[in-house]
Every structure is written in C-alpha cells, then in structure tokens.
Amino acid sequence: MTATIETDSLVAAGTVVGAPRRLLQLEGAILLAGALTAYTTTHEPWWLIPLTLLFPDLFAIGYLAGTRVGANLYNLVHTTALPAAVIAFAWSQHTPLAGALGLIWLAHIGMDRLLGYGLKYDDHFQHTHLSQPRRARPKPPRS
C-alpha cells in the first residue's frame, strides 16, 4: 500500500517531503562542494567545469523513446555509482582528466539534488523522488 501525504496540494506517491527532503538537498550541497573541492587536486583547467557540467542532462534524450526508457537512462547517469567508478578507475590508472570528469559528474548530481531534481519515475518527466509534476489543482465540487 502506498501512502501519500496531503499538504496544500496533492503530493505524488514516492515524493520525499519535509525534513527528509531537506536532508537530501543538504547531502546534494555537500556532494557538490566536495566534488568541486576534490577537482582542485586534479590540476585540470576550471573552464572544463562549465563546459561539461550539464552533460549528464543530455541523457534525457531517452525520453524520445518513451517515459520508461527515458527515466531509466536518465537515472542511470544521475546516480553516484558510475561517476564513482570513473573516479576509482582514473585514480588507479593515474589519469587526472578522467578523474576530473568523474568529479564534475558527481558535482552535477549534487547540484541536481540541491536544486530539488531527483531520480525520475517512469510515469511523467517531472515526477522525481524530490519533486512532482505540476498539475492543475482539483476544483472543489459545486454546491
């Protein structure tokens, strides 16, 4: 059974609200700050950050194949596992550019969480674990 929380408007099932949502946003801020701080150790140029920061969002192109494919592809590149693997590989192989790109990728994920963008559900592009689709408020019944 899925529980929903009612506030001024309807909250979509699976959407985190209240203190847990704020903690996830704080976690995103720390991930963003930590990734950018770690980036300084790579000695790669700072212009690489604005050039590549939004690259993971290009994977929203999967939505052209439908919401299920789009959500799965988007979520694949918006979880920390892949950039962490890139960073680990880069560290083990002494390739600072790959490490820098992995850190920028983590910074992107942290920025998304901080701004309230989360992992997508497959029912609607705007339905994430941190936000819900904007829907028209239901009209009260006429008396």
Angstrom distance (rounded) from CA 128 to CA 85: 24
- The answer as to whether 134 is a domain residue is no
Residue 64 domain boundaries? 18-114
| More confident call, 85 vs 2 | 85
- The answer as to whether 75 is a domain residue is yes
- The answer as to whether 10 is a domain residue is no
Residue 137 has pLDDT above 80, yes or no: no
- The answer as to whether 69 is a domain residue is yes
- The answer as to whether 138 is a domain residue is no
**Taking the complete model, does pTM exceed 0.75, yes or no?**
yes
Residues 62-104: tens digit of each pLDDT: 999 999 999 999 999 999 999 999 999 999 999 999 999 999 9
Task: Please give the DSSP secondary-structure letter assigned to residue 123.
Answer: T
Count CB-CB contacts under 10 A for residue 137. Answer: 9
**If phi over 0 gives left and psi between -120 and 50 gives alpha, with beta otherwise, what is residue 108?**
alpha
- The answer as to whether 98 is a domain residue is yes
- The answer as to whether 32 is a domain residue is yes
- Phi/psi of residue 128, nearest 5 degrees: -125, 175
Residues 14-68: tens digit of each pLDDT: 777 788 889 989 999 999 999 999 999 999 999 999 999 999 999 999 999 999 9
Residue 6 has pLDDT above 60, yes or no: no
Q: How far is CA 83 from CA 40, 95, 110, 142, in A?
A: 17, 14, 12, 53
Residue 123 has a pLDDT of 83
Give the chain's domain count: 1
Q: Which amino acid is at 85?
A: A
- The answer as to whether 130 is a domain residue is no
Angstrom distance (rounded) from CA 46 to CA 52: 11
- Phi/psi of residue 129, nearest 5 degrees: -75, -10
